């Protein structure tokens, strides 16, 4: 069982609200990721981080923002939620190697529904 | 578009049968991994195969890699109802700055009927 946690697990919220999805890992991993996944569909990388104070945008454009002030914490924020943000958000972490495809450890996900 | 594409998109088999799913990718890779995702959950790593390997086994899982065809297959033998899940392949690519980026495929939904 991976030591990576996401809260909340489910969130139903109204349009225009600001939300923060939390992700924490206790494995000391340098790299962390956020993916967006619609039910039964592929994963889309929206943000990643190589370490503290490092954040990068992923393949899928997202209106969300992330921060990495501490190694273990990688929160995702939506300033103004919209129905189009309804999805499942998966957080993952991995050790930082070069030349080797590192295993990613995933959290249980947050299901977001914006009304 | 996605680096990895799995087929079939969905597969339904009887318990005890073997399940085979395939992953094709577009650019050269260093390594390829397979992950499993139970409904509504995060992904769990199953197996990694390096670009210089052709076949790898782990329990009831057998993975092959054909770099000339840019494809990989995952075989689950003697399937069980608990194997019901979506299965994703993941490939790596070197992006700007020499960093490594992992891309997940489109996934195969496997249903094992008891």
Which sequence spans correspond to the domains of chain B? 4-113
Written as six digits, the tokens of A8 are: 């909340």
Per the listing, tokens 């197996």 go with B47
**Range A45-58 average pLDDT:** 92
Written as six digits, the tokens of B35 are: 């992950």
**Residues of chain A with C-beta less than 8 angstroms from the C-beta of B109:** 40
What is the Rg, in whole angstroms, of the alpha carbon atoms belonging to chain B? Answer: 14
Strand partners, A73: A24, A70
CA distance B32 to B90: 6
| Pair type for strands A87-94 and A31-37 | antiparallel
Concatenating the DSSP letter of every residue in B54-74 gives SEEEETTEEEEEETTTTEEEE
- Do the chains contact at A106 and B91, CB–CB below 8 Å? no
Average pLDDT over chain B, rounded to an integer: 89
User: Could you tell me if B6 and B89 are in contact, meaning their C-beta atoms sit under 8 angstroms apart?
Assistant: yes
pLDDT at B38 over 60: yes
CA distance A45 to A53: 19
Domain span at residue A27 reads 4-114
Specify the number of domains making up chain A: 1
Select the residue from B1, B102, B106 to test the A interface by mutation, using most A Cβ atoms within 10 A. B102
Select the residue from A43, A87, A109 to test the B interface by mutation, using most B Cβ atoms within 10 A. A43
The pLDDT of residue A103: 85
Q: Give the chain A residue whose CA is nearest to the CA of B38.
A: A108
The pLDDT of residue B2: 47
Q: Specify the CATH number for the domain of residue A29.
A: 2.60.40.10
Q: How confident is the model at residue B99 (pLDDT cuts 50, 70, 90)?
A: low
Written as six digits, the tokens of B13 are: 């088999």
| Size (chain B), residues | 114
Strand partners, B92: B102
Among A85, A89, A91, A87, smallest CA distance to A104 is for A91
Lowest mean pLDDT of A79-88, A91-100, B11-20, B78-87, name the range: A91-100
H/E segment holding residue B112: strand B108-113
Written as six digits, the tokens of A98 are: 């070069």
- Do the chains contact at A101 and B31, CB–CB below 8 Å? yes
The pLDDT of residue A97: 65
Assign a CATH topology to domain B4-113.
Immunoglobulin-like (2.60.40)
């Amino acid at each position: 069982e991976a030591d990576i946690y996401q809260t909340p697990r489910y969130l139903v919220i109204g349009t225009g609200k600001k939300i923060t999805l939390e992700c924490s890992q206790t494995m000391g991993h340098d790299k962390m990721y956020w993916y967006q996944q619609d039910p039964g569909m592929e994963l889309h990388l929206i943000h990643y981080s190589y370490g503290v104070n490092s954040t990068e945008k992923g393949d899928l454009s997202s209106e969300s923002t992330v921060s990495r002030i501490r190694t273990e914490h990688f929160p995702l924020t939506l300033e103004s939620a919209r129905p189009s943000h309804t999805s499942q958000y998966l957080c993952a972490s991995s050790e930082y190697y070069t030349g080797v495809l590192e295993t990613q450890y995933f959290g249980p996900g947050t299901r977001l529904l914006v009304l | 578009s996605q680096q990895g594409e799995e087929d079939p998109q969905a597969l339904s088999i009887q318990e005890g049968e073997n399940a085979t799913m395939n992953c094709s990718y577009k650019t050269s890779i260093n390594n390829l991994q397979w992950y499993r995702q139970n409904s509504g959950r995060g992904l769990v790593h199953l197996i990694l195969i390096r670009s210089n390997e052709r076949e790898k086994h782990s329990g009831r899982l057998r993975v092959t890699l054909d770099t000339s065809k840019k494809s990989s297959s995952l075989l689950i033998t003697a399937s069980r109802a608990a194997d019901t899940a979506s299965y994703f392949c993941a490939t790596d690519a070197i992006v700007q700055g020499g960093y490594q980026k992992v891309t997940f495929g489109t996934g195969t939904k496997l249903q094992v009927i008891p």
